[in-house]
Amino acid sequence: MHATRTSSTEDVNPWQIAQEQLAQSAQRIGLSSAIHQKLAHPKRIITVSIPTQMDDGSWEVFTGYRVQHSLERGPCKGGIRYHPDVNLNEMKAMAMWMTWKSAVVNIPFGGGKGGVACDPERMSQRELERMTRRFTTELVDVIGPEKDIPAPDVYTDEQVMAWIVDTYSMNKGYMVPGVVTGKPLALGGSQGRRGATGRGCLCIIEEVLRVRNELREGLTMAVQGFGKVGSVVARLAAEKGFRVIAISDVRGAVFNAHGLDASDLLIYARENGSVAGYPEAESLPRDDLLLLECDILVPAALECAIHKGNAEQVSARIIAEVANGPTTPEAQTILEDKGIFMLPDILTNAGGVTVSYFEWVQSSQSYFWSEEEVNTNLHRIMLKAFHDVYNTAQRNSTSMRDAAMDLAVSRVAEAQRLRGIYP
């Protein structure tokens, strides 16, 4: 239930976008050339071949990546995704964005990202396990609790993290639960981790509405993407009194002006493989969801969903980016000119990395928190991050995206300045 890229976005280079964002922020905050150049390049790029035996006895060699952008403030943190379109430019961009995301919420991580170019929907569970274990073995010297901590992402889950924990631990000769986050509770996972990104997103949405004196029951919301994050946003929003009028996934979209029952729709989607055809709603062309008139639009699929080809038709009042990089720079300019208030991804979807931080802390201490403690601390950190960004935007008369970038880059740059560039 993850969205895929469309032909309208195939020419978009996420790494180029990430570089442009950094360059613009560097100019706004007067960043020194040396530190700018340092932050413009990932610290380490790993590309590996992953020979995997398939169930029919044949062998296939997949290509895997792990990019470590920055370790200035702590170990790298970032997901591992399995998707046919995984490529190095995407990995580099997302690793950089993870650096800024961690800095926005002021947790001691740098950014990393990894993935394997494969089609997990065409692979059996055993094939995925063999591929994951070989991929982990190739990375065993460059990941770990003090170096780089992977997590679930597109088409990866707790089971994949469990395979990584086991493979890494077997190579080390002892149990190392802190090598990943997003793992099962039985292996040292954290309460509240599964819904953390969606919960953090809704926290930001509610707070911006409160600050703008617009929070009221019945506000309309459209959610693009009904996977691990979008489904949580939709369900929690409905529970809080929002009217979720449209939801999409890779195979279609559904619309009900009176509001969708997100929990019932999730059951339907699990049983039928998609939200398409849900009997309590009208069918809608998948990409038309982005153009619906609504109070809040939540892009929760893959990057570059809103681009110069469709931005002019977007009719939401507020866009809360919970996917990574769902809006291109050209689209950003168009949306701001239309008066649409943007909540940037490096703030809005930082709930996941925040609770990953909690899990990492718990794993290292072997002392575990209740779900209430996790959610309370998540709420506290997300609110603090929102007001840090909002106040920066107000003080400097900039957009929320520029304010979030400037705040994040400043924090990483200060750590780099204090450490120096060795030798």
Q: Which residues are catalytic?
A: 113
Task: Please measure the distance between the N-terminal and C-terminal CA atoms of the chain and give it in whole angstroms.
Answer: 47
User: ∠353-220-223 over CA atoms, to 5°?
Assistant: 40
DSSP 181: S
Token pair belonging to 289 = 């969801």
DSSP 76-89: EEEEEEEETT--HH
Token pair belonging to 271 = 């049983």
d(CA 113, CA 42): 11
Q: Are the C-beta atoms of 313 and 306 separated by less than 8 Å? A: no
Q: Give the pairing of strands 59-68 and 76-83.
A: unpaired
Phi and psi, residue 79, nearest 5°: -75, 170
Three-state DSSP at 186 gives helix
Question: For residue 83, which of 288, 266, 303, 290 has the smallest C-alpha distance?
Answer: 303
Token pair belonging to 356 = 């990953």
Question: For residue 322, which of 297, 303, 348 has the smallest C-alpha distance?
Answer: 348
Question: For residue 12, which of 261, 329, 314, 319 has the smallest C-alpha distance?
Answer: 329
The H or E element containing residue 201 is helix 196-211
Largest CA distance in the chain: 64
Query: Residue 311: left (phi > 0), alpha (psi -120 to 50), or beta?
Result: alpha
